[in-house]
Structure 1
């Protein structure tokens, strides 16, 4: 393999193309946002083949991306700002908000690495160098007092281009992340045949930027801590192997049909069936004693579950997790159908009342997620969603070859769901495990019977 060193060629900061009165207003957070204060940034991106045309010019291409970003930030202007943290004396507490004052904007980086697409996609495990395709490596959300909330890094390979995006997790959840990314691609696509953008560019899904606060709550929420050390928690995961497995729509359809038939039901979803299989197989790979309690967390979007529902264009965090637990022996003794049915019931029961009770409880006694406690090593977490439009983001380069992620929010037992490149309900499953557990997981017959294409990254 060629040199793995990623070289930064240039970087700059991009502000919204149009500044309005709204652009200069601070954005105050919801409970869902504030509890993310020590979580890593969201880091996702796509790998594209280099255009096989003589008229492609990287300098011109980067200029177009910068202009498209400036136009997109006109709609998503909080992402061009910074965090401000104010320490209050009475009562002792912190007020944290998005502050547009004194911000240079979102960061834009041009980088280069002497590697090929095959160097990235041929190895079984995702190469560690991929983490260098993203800015804000290992940063936590609270670092955005000094770092940009949004960073776009364009990394040139010898035969490809990787466009990586890092967004502060207090500013956006997965739905909002891809909402921004889709809009960025949409704006880029609007470039005319003359090579120019017509400004302002309308987008199909303008974001709703005002944060949701429960009725009767103060619109400016505080964190009740006397010192930053009380809530700052730097994740320190062990050495992990990261591998991506491809599951076809046909394989997943058969699993769903089998599980629903076993349970005499029709409503257990593909994701619930797959989560049940992955939970069982990772638990088997971990070789827990039968009495050991293990859990499965499913990330869940609250927008449509509230009454009245939040718009799918709501920009910010509106997620929680549903967690089910079983003893390891019971989990492995049960059929996959009974496990999937339990996960299904947990999701169905995540109602408006459950969400509001959770938020009201947070308002009475605010807390932040600490990774070492939230992601325990005996559980798994299923994150992201294959329903997000990922491969529709082409940026003038055609369809992407792969979706890859950075260092952020990975730990033993983190499983991330991506849209399969061939579409049609296929899924790419990114699995992170400590090496000894991955060695057993990738040989597990129950899981591997679902995997159609083992050639992975």
Structure 2
């Protein structure tokens, strides 16, 4: 496949994508294929035990919302196309296609077939139309290409599509990327690099690593059903979606509460107060101080619950309450973990591909609600801490004994699945006119109980949770006082 010209413009009859919340629709202005500016020299890249299960998942759809750039749209589109062409030389797999050999092994062929670039118009919408509603409007789903496309289709379609959608006073850049090719770490490294290139950065310091020499590269063969795998959840079930924001202060308050730090501080104050105001009762004071020190030492021997685990536990309790289960019902909180640093020897930090595994934590509804927040967080914490090199390898072995696609969904009505990460650099994307004002995602891989974690716009440890639930459960969650007391209603940090 030739690498020149950089883009091949397709003849496109303007089309519209219908939305449910307005009388207009997003209109496709043009589609083009963008090729890498230099030819790839990479060999076929074999899909790993973390890649192959994703063949039944939708393409990942993530994007950034920007205020109006100071450039004519035609200039901007050309600028982004040229930047994408250069960026693809650093990420050749994203300009390739999937191939399956005669033995059933699936590879990425870095054959320079190109990525899709879409220019769309939604100038009937403003930035506030996206950000102001309590629930994420349906119009956001039209900002992404490859709607509901399953990753196996990467055999016949581009592995990457970039859609630039004009708004009345802003712009949305949406990325649709094959989930059998990237996880969140790889995706955001690509997007960050794309932004750097467009901004004129010459030296790319975070080069992806394409090695395929590790335990997750397996001789096991995934048997694909005729016609290719399908998603394992109802794509058309009614859902309610909301982004809940948590300020840095709220997160720290929650973390301290989960770790019982406030109680220890109060005990210390009481002891010191007795020591200074009641010198006669020195023996009692000494005993109090000794007890407090022993309690503090014991507490220090327990692993500290992280702020994110505290937040997950808070959500687990609130959604379990909202779903109104009997005490005996088993609930599941599933978290995706990055395996790059867990393996020995470690994978490169910028290893390109999926290097994630999904950790389930189980507890009955009665246990989740009768124990305190710390207990719930400790169950999550134990599983995360124990997921070491041996556990990663055991997951690989288990998959090799039964190769299958990942069963994504909420099969018993009592599951929560946490994806993405507040550590991903989602706001570090300045394409030349400023950083984004929000992160949003498309329709991909969404079902009752799917949660995605984003960093908050203000940074500093703030977190946004994109929560997808059935409408009835969402309505209950929004009335849950334990949960909502930590949620910020405004950009100034006012709490609901």
Q: Fold conserved (TM > 0.5)? A: yes
Alignment-derived partner of residue 42 in structure 1: 60
Instruction: Tell me the alpha carbon deviations over residues 378-425 of structure 1, each in whole angstroms, 9 at most, x when there is no partner.
Output: 111111111111111021231211100000111111111101001110
Cα deviation, residue 454, structure 1: 5.7
Instruction: Tell me the alpha carbon deviations over residues 84-134 of structure 1, each in whole angstroms, 9 at most, x when there is no partner.
Output: 23455xxxxx33221244x63100100001211111111111011111100
Cα deviation, residue 361, structure 1: 2.4
Q: Distance in 1 between matches of 2:383 and 2:254?
A: 20
Q: CA, structure 1 residues 259+58, in 2 after alignment: closer, same or farther (shift >3 Å)?
A: same
Alignment-derived partner of residue 209 in structure 1: 210
Indicate whether 1:418 and 2:454 are aligned: yes
Indicate whether 1:73 and 2:71 are aligned: no
Cα deviation, residue 360, structure 1: 2.2
Alignment-derived partner of residue 129 in structure 1: 139
Q: Distance in 1 between matches of 2:433 and 2:24?
A: 24
Alignment-derived partner of residue 116 in structure 2: 107
Higher relative contact order (CA 8 A, sep 6+): 1
Instruction: Tell me the alpha carbon deviations over residues 193-238 of structure 1, each in whole angstroms, 9 at most, x when there is no partner.
Output: xxxxxxxx431111011234428954xx52135x436844454242
Say if 2:50 and 2:216, in contact at 8 Å, map to a contact too. Answer: no
Say if 2:152 and 2:228, in contact at 8 Å, map to a contact too. Answer: no
Pairs within 5 Å for 1:295-306: 295-306=332-343
Cα deviation, residue 335, structure 1: 0.2
Alignment-derived partner of residue 277 in structure 2: none
Q: CA, structure 1 residues 247+59, in 2 after alignment: closer, same or farther (shift >3 Å)?
A: same
SS in 1 for 2:107: strand
Alignment-derived partner of residue 390 in structure 1: 426
Q: Distance in 1 between matches of 2:222 and 2:375?
A: 41
Paired residues, what number? 432
Q: CA, structure 1 residues 8+234, in 2 after alignment: closer, same or farther (shift >3 Å)?
A: farther
Q: Distance in 1 between matches of 2:461 and 2:411?
A: 28
Pairs within 5 Å for 1:313-352: 313-352=350-389
Question: Structure 1: where are the runs of 5+ without partners?
Answer: 89-93, 192-200
Pairs within 5 Å for 1:196-345: 201-214=202-215, 217-218=218-219, 221-225=220-224, 227-228=225-226, 231-233=229-231, 235-237=233-235, 238-261=237-260, 264=299, 265=302, 267-345=304-382
Cα deviation, residue 260, structure 1: 1.2
Say if 2:259 and 2:305, in contact at 8 Å, map to a contact too. Answer: yes
Cα deviation, residue 261, structure 1: 2.0
Q: Distance in 2 between matches of 1:340 and 1:451?
A: 18
Alignment-derived partner of residue 192 in structure 2: 182
Alignment-derived partner of residue 149 in structure 1: 159
Alignment-derived partner of residue 482 in structure 2: 446
Equivalent position to 1:64, from 79, 88, 95: 79
Say if 1:33 and 1:316, in contact at 8 Å, map to a contact too. Answer: yes
Q: Distance in 1 between matches of 2:233 and 2:363?
A: 26
SS in 2 for 1:228: coil
Say if 1:3 and 1:115, in contact at 8 Å, map to a contact too. Answer: no
Q: CA, structure 1 residues 376+181, in 2 after alignment: closer, same or farther (shift >3 Å)?
A: farther
Root-mean-square deviation over aligned CA pairs: 2.1
Q: Distance in 1 between matches of 2:155 and 2:24?
A: 31
Cα deviation, residue 440, structure 1: 0.5
Alignment-derived partner of residue 99 in structure 2: 84
SS in 2 for 1:125: coil
Moved over 6 A (4+): none
Instruction: Tell me the alpha carbon deviations over residues 251-279 of structure 1, each in whole angstroms, 9 at most, x when there is no partner.
Output: 00011111112793462111110000000
TM-score by length of 2: 0.83
Say if 2:338 and 2:357, in contact at 8 Å, map to a contact too. Answer: yes
